[in-house]
Amino acid sequence: MLICILTGFSSGLPLFVLISLISAWLRDGGVELKEIGLLALVQFPYIWKFLWAPLCDRYGLPIGRRRTWMLFTQIALLFSIPAFGWFTPVPDIATIRWLAVAVALFSATQDIAIDAFRREILKDEEQGLGNVVHVNAYKIAGLIPGSLSLILADFLSWNAVYLITALFMLPGILLTLIGTEPEFSSHAPPTLRQAIVDPFREFVQRKGWSGALTVLGFIFFYKLGDSMATALATPFYLDMGYSKTEIGVIAKHAGLWPNLAGGILGGIWMVSLGIHRSLWVFGVLQALVILGFAWLATAGHTVAGLATVIGAEAFGVGLGTAAFVAYIATTTNPAYTATQFALFTSLAATPRTLANAFTGFLVEGGDIKLGDIYLVHVEALGWERFFWVCFALALPGMLLLFKVAPWNGGKTRTGPDRLEPQPDSQSSD
C-alpha cells in the first residue's frame, strides 16, 4: 500500500501540472480562456499511449521492464517541468504547447509502467484497496501544482515555482531505484509481435466482439461528466472572483480530508460491496457532486460554499475513480498488463483530452476553426448551464453498468482466469 501511495503521487503530479498549474499560469498571464481550453489537446499522448505500450511490455534494462520505463520517464519529467518557467505565456504560447506535449508524452509513458507495476504487485483481492490508495495519492499529488505552487506564485517567480514543483518527482525516482521488480514482470512476451497482437486478441476472445465493445464504451463514458466539469476548475474559481491564495489554501485543501476519508471508506466499502456494486454507488455520488459546481456559479463569492463543493467533489469523484480503476485492473490479463491497461486508460483519457479541449467554447461561445477552416459556431452556455450539461453527460456511463457490471454480477473478478501468454511460433522480432 505504501508503494501504491508513492506510485500514485508520482503518476498524478505531471498531469495536474498540465491541468491546474499551466492553466492558472496562462490565465494569470493574460491568455484567453478558449486558448487555455484548447491546450488540453496536448494531452493526446494519454489517448495514444497504447500504441507504444507493447514496447514497455517487451523491452527493458536488467533492472526490470517496469522500473526501466519508470526511471527514464521520471528523470525526463524532473528536467522538463522546470522548462516552463523559461517562457512568457502570450508571446511564447506556441513553444509552451510543444513543451506541454513533451511533458504529456513522458507522463503517459510513466503511467504505462506504473499501472503495470501496480497491477503485478497486487493480488486480485488487493486490487480494490490498492487502487483506492493509488487514486487518492494521485489526487493528493494535485495539491502540489494546484495549491502549494499557486501560493508560491504570489511570492516567487514562475521560474522558481516550476523548479520547486518538479522536485516533487524525487520520491518516485527514489522508489524506482530502491524498489523490487514484480515477480511476474520477468515473463516478458518472447517477441515484439506477440507484445503487439496478443493483448488485443486475448481481450476480444475473452469478451467476444459485442462484450469487448460494450466494455470499451463504458470505459469511455463513465468519467466523461466529471472530467469535463473539472477541466477548467481553476479558471472557474478565478472567474468567480477567488484569489490564487484562496484557491490554493481553501479550495484545494478543502478537498484533502474528504479525499482521504473517501479513500479509507471506499477501500472498506469495496471489500464488502465488491467492484460491481461500488461502480453503481460511487458512480451516483460522482454524478451528483457535479451539481455543486452549478450552484456555486450562482452563489457569489462564498468561501464556505467553495470549500463545501470542493470537498464533495473530492469525496464523490474520488470514490468513483477508485472503483473505476479497480475495475480496469481486474479486467486486464497479467500476461499483457502494460498494453491492455494502457488501452483501457487511454479510452478513459479520451474525454479529458477531446471533450475538455472544447469546454472553453461551451462556456464562452465562439467559432471553432481548424486552421483557417470554419467548422461551427458555439453559443455561450455560461458556467451554470455548462455544469448541467456535464451532469447529463455522466448518465450514459451509468446506464452501461447494466451490461458491464450488473448489481448482482459478482464481487471481485472481471478478468481472465488464464494468466499466461499464448504461444505464437510464427512470431519473431
The pLDDT of residue 165 is 94
Greatest mean pLDDT among 130-134, 147-151, 162-166 lies in: 162-166
Q: Using the Cα atoms of residue 233, residue 238, residue 241 and residue 247 in order, give the sign of their dihedral.
A: positive
pLDDT tier at 233, thresholds 50, 70, 90: confident
Q: Which residue has the higher pLDDT, 272 or 74?
A: 74
The pLDDT of residue 166 is 95
DSSP 305-342: HHHHHHHHHHHHHHHHHHHHHHHHHHHS-GGGHHHHHH
Checking DSSP bridges between strand 373-378 and strand 366-370, what pairing results, if any? Answer: antiparallel
255 pLDDT higher than 80: no
186 pLDDT higher than 70: no
Cell of 271: 471489500
pLDDT tier at 410, thresholds 50, 70, 90: low
**Across 385-406, average pLDDT:** 91
Lowest mean pLDDT of 77-81, 238-242, 408-412, name the range. Answer: 408-412
The pLDDT of residue 70 is 95
424 pLDDT higher than 50: no
Cβ atoms within 10 A of the Cβ of 429, count?
10
* 23 three-class SS: helix
Contact 400, 218 (CB under 8 A): yes
The pLDDT of residue 35 is 78
Place of cell 468519467: 223
The pLDDT of residue 367 is 66
**Across 145-161, average pLDDT:** 88
The pLDDT of residue 426 is 41
- Superfamily holding 2-404: MFS general substrate transporter like domains (1.20.1250.20)
Cβ density class 110-127: b for 16+ within 10 Å, e for less: bbbbbbbbbbbbbeeeeb
185 pLDDT higher than 70: no
**Across 89-99, average pLDDT:** 87
Distance (Å, rounded) from C-alpha 293 to C-alpha 387? Answer: 6
Contact 73, 169 (CB under 8 A): no
82 pLDDT higher than 70: yes
Task: Give, rounded to a whole angstrom, the gap between the first and last alpha carbons of the chain.
Answer: 37
30 pLDDT higher than 60: yes
The pLDDT of residue 315 is 84
161 pLDDT higher than 90: yes
φ and ψ at 239, to 5 degrees? -70, -25
Nearest residue to 413 via CA among 206, 117, 138, 268: 206
* 376 three-class SS: strand
Nearest residue to 248 via CA among 291, 204, 202, 310: 310
Q: Which residue has the higher pLDDT, 392 or 356?
A: 392
Q: Is 372 buried (19+), middle (13-18) or exposed (0-12) by CB count in 10 A?
A: exposed
The pLDDT of residue 356 is 67
**Across 119-146, average pLDDT:** 81
| Percentage of the chain exceeding pLDDT 70 | 89
333 pLDDT higher than 50: yes
Nearest residue to 15 via CA among 50, 51, 42, 49: 42
Q: Which residue has the higher pLDDT, 80 or 237?
A: 80
Q: Is 98 buried (19+), middle (13-18) or exposed (0-12) by CB count in 10 A?
A: exposed
| Percentage of the chain exceeding pLDDT 90 | 21
Q: Cβ neighbours of residue 97 under 8 Å, at least 6 residues apart?
A: 39, 42
Distance (Å, rounded) from C-alpha 399 to C-alpha 394? Answer: 9
Average pLDDT, the chain: 83
**Across 53-66, average pLDDT:** 87
The pLDDT of residue 263 is 67
